[in-house]
Every structure is written in C-alpha cells, then in structure tokens.
Amino acid sequence: MNIENLKTFITLSELKNFTQTADRYFIVQSTVTNRIMELEKELGKKLFIRNRKNVELTEEGQHFLAYAKRIVALEASAIEELSMLHTFPRIFVSEQ
Amino acid sequence: MNIENLKTFITLSELKNFTQTADRYFIVQSTVTNRIMELEKELGKKLFIRNRKNVELTEEGQHFLAYAKRIVALEASAIEELSMLHTFPRIFVSEQ
DNA sequence: TAAAAATACTCCATAGGTATTTTAT
DNA sequence: ATAAAATACCTATGGAGTATTTTTA
C-alpha cells in the first residue's frame, strides 16, 4: 500500500471529482482512477460509488478514510520529527 | 512512501541482517538494500549504520521506527476493520 | 449532448532479480 | 578467507500519460 495513493484517496473523498483531484496533484484523471482502483484491489472493497455526476464514499470507504488520514498524518509527523533532530546543538551534553 | 518498505525496515531493525530479512519475505538481499535506500532517500536521513558484521539503527532510525510501527499497525487495523464490515447481518435494522 | 469516469494502448521508470564487487574482520 | 552489504546490470512489471469509449443525466 502506497501512502501517495492514500493522499489521492483522501483528496477524492473531499472533492468528489476525479478530474479535479488529478489537477490538484498535477496528474491526469486516469491516474487517479488507477490509484483508487489499486487501493480497492488491495483492500478487496469498493471505496467509492460512482454514479450520476457524483462520487460518494461507500460505507467501507468512510471507515477506511479515518485510517488513511491517520496514516498520512503519521507520515508527516515522522518527517517533521526527523527534520528537527540535530537541528540545534546539544549544548549540555559534555561527552558521548 | 510504501508500507511494504516500512515492514522491511521494521524487520531489519529486529534481525539486524539484510540477508535474513530478505529470506523472511522471500525476496533477495539486494531488494532489501534497495528498499531501505529508498526510504533513506525519501527521508533524507540514514536509518542504519552498517559496519563490522552488524547493522544498527541510527538515532533517526530509532525515531522513525516508532512511526513505522504505528503506520503498519494502522494499515493492519484498517484491513481488519473493513473485513469485519457486513460480516454479520444487521438483524435489528428494520429499514434503511 | 455534455461532463465525467472507465478503458485501451503505449511508453518509460523502476522494482526486483542475478551476478559480482567491495568491505570488514 | 569468509560473511555480509553494496553495486552493476538486466528484465519485466506496472505506473502514468494520451486518446477513446462508455455512462448517465
């Protein structure tokens, strides 16, 4: 499972539009389709119902959304924390 | 960032051996090297110190390990939860 | 017929494998 | 000399793009 795909999924759940989601990431609509289909394949569940001019999360999709957000947030926190390490000299450590 | 790579990272942090980690996933040693290097590239940080017959987490690696474990656990929980949905009929729901 | 998603196809990047080299003891 | 990781190289898969078709309002 790829975290970029989770970000795409989250954005699609908000925008409810494949084309707009693609534009947000400077990719094309079919790539969004592929990423969502890949997630659906990995999970063995449909995440969205696509019909008559709107895109809606399934019940499974709603549940998965909460996890996806937590995973994406954790990745961001990890990157943030690592970027902070060793940023400031550790003045009070006198020896190894 | 790929969650499979995080699993590889976690296992390597436990086994401290690229070859054994590869065996655990039925992949080859060079693939483990590639996955770890991909993570290190994405993070811009070395995760392991490789020297004289042992592999040790760097300080950054130790911090990242905690996040990796949480992310992998969340993915597992998500899959578990989705697999449980609609498993049992909802007897007491009389109408939509 | 119009707007949006799915599909078909093509191409290229890269993930993963084999084999080899490097490194450290 | 040995054990293990890195590297070089090759191949095949699949991710991403273009163009087209399908769908539905």
Cβ-defined contact of B78 to A85 (cutoff 8 Å): no
Q: What is the pLDDT of residue A92?
A: 53
Q: Strand D: which positions are within 7 A of a protein CB?
A: 4-8, 15-19, 24-25
Q: What is the model's pLDDT at position A85?
A: 87
Option in B2, B43, B79 nearest A43 (CB): B79
CA distance to partner chain B, nearest, from residue A75 (Å): 7
The tens digit of pLDDT for each residue in A17-42 reads 999 999 999 999 999 999 999 999 99
- The answer to whether B62 touches B4, Cβ cutoff 8 Å, is no
Question: Which nucleotide is the nearest neighbour of B27, by CA and C1'?
Answer: C16
Confidence at A14, pLDDT banded by 50, 70, 90? very high
Contact flag, residue A2 CB and nucleic strand C, below 7 A: no
A12: closest CA among B2, A27, A1?
A: A27
Q: Average the pLDDT over A82-93 and give the result.
A: 70
A85 vs B48, higher pLDDT: B48
pLDDT band at B49, cuts 50/70/90?
Answer: very high
Over pLDDT 90: what percentage of chain B? 82
| Residue percentage of chain B with pLDDT more than 70 | 88
Mean pLDDT, rounded, for B51-63: 88
Nearest nucleotide from residue B29 CA, by C1' atom: D5
Q: ∠ CA(A56), CA(B95), CA(A60), 5° rounding?
A: 30
The CA dihedral of A84, A26, A68, A71, to the nearest 10 degrees, is -20
- Return the higher-pLDDT residue of A51 and B24: B24
From B21's Cα to the closest Cα of chain A, the distance in A is 19
Tell me the pTM: 0.88
